[in-house]
Amino acid sequence: MAETAGPAKPPLAATLRRIERSAGGLATSAVARMDETLPWFRALPADQRSWIMLVAQAGVRSLVEWLRSGGTVAETTQEISDEVFAAAPRALARSITLTQAVQLIKATIDVAESEVDRLAAPGEEEALLQAILRYSREIAFSAARVYARAAESRGAWDARLQAMLVDALLRGDSSDVLASRAAALGWADKPPVAVVVGRSPGGDITAVLHAVYRAARRGRLEVIGGVHGDRLVVVMGGATDPAASAGALAPSFGAGPIVVGPAVPSLDQATESARAALAGFRAAPAWPGAPNPVTADDLLPERALAGDLEARRTLRHDVYGALSRAGGGLLETLDAFFAAGGVLESAARELFVHPNTVRYRLKRVAEVTGLSPLDGRDAFALRLALTIGRLDPAS
Q: From CA 264, how far away is CA 189, in angstroms rounded?
A: 11
SS3 196: strand
SS3 264: strand
Which superfamily does 308-391 belong to?
PucR C-terminal helix-turn-helix domain (1.10.10.2840)
DSSP assignment of 62-83 equals HHHHHHHHTS--HHHHHHHHHH
- Cis before 192? omega within 30: yes
Q: From CA 370, how far away is CA 304, in angstroms rounded?
A: 18
Which H or E element spans position 199? strand 193-199
Bridge partners, 237 (sequence order): 193, 222
**Which CATH number applies to 172-298: 3.40.190.10, 3.30.420.10, 3.30.300.30, 3.30.70.2730?**
3.30.70.2730
- By the 10 Å C-beta count (0-12 exposed, 13-18 middle, 19+ buried), 344 is classed as middle
pLDDT at 17: 83
Are the beta carbons of 277 and 231 closer than 8 angstroms? no
Q: From CA 10, how far away is CA 1, in angstroms rounded?
A: 27
Give 10-residue mean pLDDT values along the chain (395 residues): 48 78 83 87 83 77 74 46 54 66 77 84 84 77 65 56 71 69 72 94 86 89 88 91 94 95 90 93 96 96 96 95 93 96 94 95 96 95 95 70
SS3 236: strand
Pairing of strands 294-295, 259-260: parallel
Reported residue count of the chain is: 395
First to last CA, the chain: 113
Provide the residue type at 149 as one letter. R
Q: From CA 234, how far away is CA 253, in angstroms rounded?
A: 10
Q: From CA 50, how far away is CA 68, in angstroms rounded?
A: 27
pTM: 0.62
Q: Which of 291, 282, 368 is nearest to 330 (CA)?
A: 368
Domain ranges of the chain: 13-148, 172-298, 308-391
Provide the residue type at 258 as one letter. I
Pairing of strands 222-228, 231-237: antiparallel
Helix axes 125-171, 74-86, angle to 10 degrees: 60
How many H-runs (helices) and E-runs (strands) does the chain carry? 20, 5
Q: From CA 230, how far away is CA 241, in angstroms rounded?
A: 26
Phi, psi of 222 (to 5 degrees): -100, 130
pLDDT at 64: 76
Are the beta carbons of 323 and 381 closer than 8 angstroms? no
Are the beta carbons of 308 and 227 closer than 8 angstroms? no
SS3 235: strand
